[in-house]
């Protein structure tokens, strides 16, 4: 039998986009947009009303790329910067001066942009570890789901994980969730000294009990199955306010997070957006393998995150 594949719908992604448009476009410093897909996604996000891009890089290259791609620059602002490092420094300076409300990675390397953001003299430093948060619209899950950190922190220790959790809580608050439920993931749901991730999970929950982490309900260690499935948790005798209802999943390290992120996208058909948080402005950190949809959705997410800053 010839079965036709039905494309998934993303009602929660549509809602995110509508809310971003309603909040109004923000100025975004697009750092070194010297590659066709980065330029196209930037212009589409601008046309949709999410961002007002400020293009930071060599103007001759930017104008040539725009012409080759059939994109009309019009009155779009270009800030001259000769190379990726100069563009990153210029973008950070503009954000520090309040001239742009977010930064977006163009075709430079991630470490070139983040190195400028967290550098010793950067005006964007907040004294908190930077981390990445993915926001997903998963067809198989009943509400938006966030995942952190699958991009920036390779093997975070306990205090780095505390900042990763705080950054995700801040984003949830800006998106309108005053008390997100957070599952701290590990391979097993019991504390085991042989698995440091379970010790860290338990410690993070105790930090929340003691008021060191606020604004959320934490539980862990939880396995992925009993975090997202109440049936699985009940079968294992787990009593939890988070099981089956997490808004945020916190992974133990980048290996686990990156694999889970790609599983949700490539097998779970989830639509996603992502931001780097922990600096004074949100940073849209897209990958060359990201779809145009993911790039545009990340711009919408940054718009709402920055709007949350404006409204306190």
Are 124 and 92 in contact by the 8 Å Cβ rule? The answer is yes
Q: What is the pLDDT of residue 308?
A: 62
Are 81 and 58 in contact by the 8 Å Cβ rule? The answer is yes
CATH number of 126-278: 3.40.718.10
C-alpha angle 82-86-90 in degrees, rounded to nearest 5: 115
Residue 133: beta bridge partners?
275
Q: What is the pLDDT of residue 310?
A: 47
pTM for the structure as a whole: 0.93
Q: What is the pLDDT of residue 36?
A: 82
Nearest to 236 by CA among 252, 221, 216: 221
CB atoms within 10 A of CB 139: 14
Q: What is the pLDDT of residue 311?
A: 43
Buried b (16+ CB within 10 A) or exposed e, 50-88: bbbbbbbbbeeebeebbeeeebebeebebbebeebbbbb
Angle between helices 292-311 and 11-23 (to 10 degrees): 50
pLDDT in 10s for each residue of the chain, 312 residues: 455 666 677 999 999 999 999 999 999 999 999 988 778 888 889 999 999 999 999 999 999 999 888 888 888 999 999 999 999 999 999 999 999 999 999 989 999 999 999 999 999 999 899 999 999 999 999 999 999 999 999 999 999 999 999 999 999 999 999 999 999 999 999 999 999 999 999 999 999 999 999 999 999 999 999 999 999 999 999 999 999 999 999 999 999 999 999 999 999 999 999 999 999 999 998 776 677 788 889 999 999 999 765 444
Nearest to 39 by CA among 78, 92, 93: 78
How far apart, in whole angstroms, are the C-alpha atoms of residue 103 and residue 138? 26
Q: What is the pLDDT of residue 83?
A: 95
């Amino acid at each position: 039998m010839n079965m036709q594949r039905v494309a998934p719908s993303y009602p929660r992604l549509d809602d995110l986009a509508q809310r971003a448009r309603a909040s109004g476009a923000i100025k975004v410093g697009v750092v070194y947009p010297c590659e066709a897909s980065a330029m196209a996604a930037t212009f589409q996000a601008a046309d949709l009303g999410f961002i007002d891009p400020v293009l930071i890089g060599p103007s001759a290259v930017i104008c040539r790329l725009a012409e080759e791609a059939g994109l009309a620059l019009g009155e779009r602002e270009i800030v001259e910067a000769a190379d990726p490092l100069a563009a990153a420094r210029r973008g950070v300076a503009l954000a520090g001066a309040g001239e742009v409300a977010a930064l977006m990675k163009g075709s430079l390397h991630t470490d070139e942009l983040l190195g400028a953001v967290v550098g010793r003299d950067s005006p964007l430093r907040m004294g908190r570890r930077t981390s990445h948060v993915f926001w997903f619209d998963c067809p198989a899950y009943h509400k938006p789901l966030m995942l952190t950190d699958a991009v920036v922190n390779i093997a975070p220790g306990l205090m780095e994980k505390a900042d990763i959790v705080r950054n995700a809580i801040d984003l949830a608050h800006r998106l309108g969730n005053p008390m997100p439920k957070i599952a701290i993931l590990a391979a097993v749901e019991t504390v085991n000294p042989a698995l440091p991730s379970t010790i860290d999970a338990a410690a993070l929950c105790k930090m929340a009990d003691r008021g060191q982490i606020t604004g959320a309900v934490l539980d862990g260690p939880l396995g992925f199955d009993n975090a997202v499935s109440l049936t699985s948790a009940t079968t294992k005798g787990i009593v939890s306010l988070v099981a089956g209802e997490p808004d945020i999943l916190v992974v133990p390290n980048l290996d686990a997070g990156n694999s889970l992120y790609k599983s949700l996208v490539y097998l779970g058909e989830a639509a996603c957006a992502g931001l780097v948080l922990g600096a004074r402005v949100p940073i849209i950190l897209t990958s060359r393998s990201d779809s145009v949809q993911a790039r545009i959705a990340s711009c919408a997410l940054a718009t709402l995150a920055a709007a949350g800053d404006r409204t306190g």
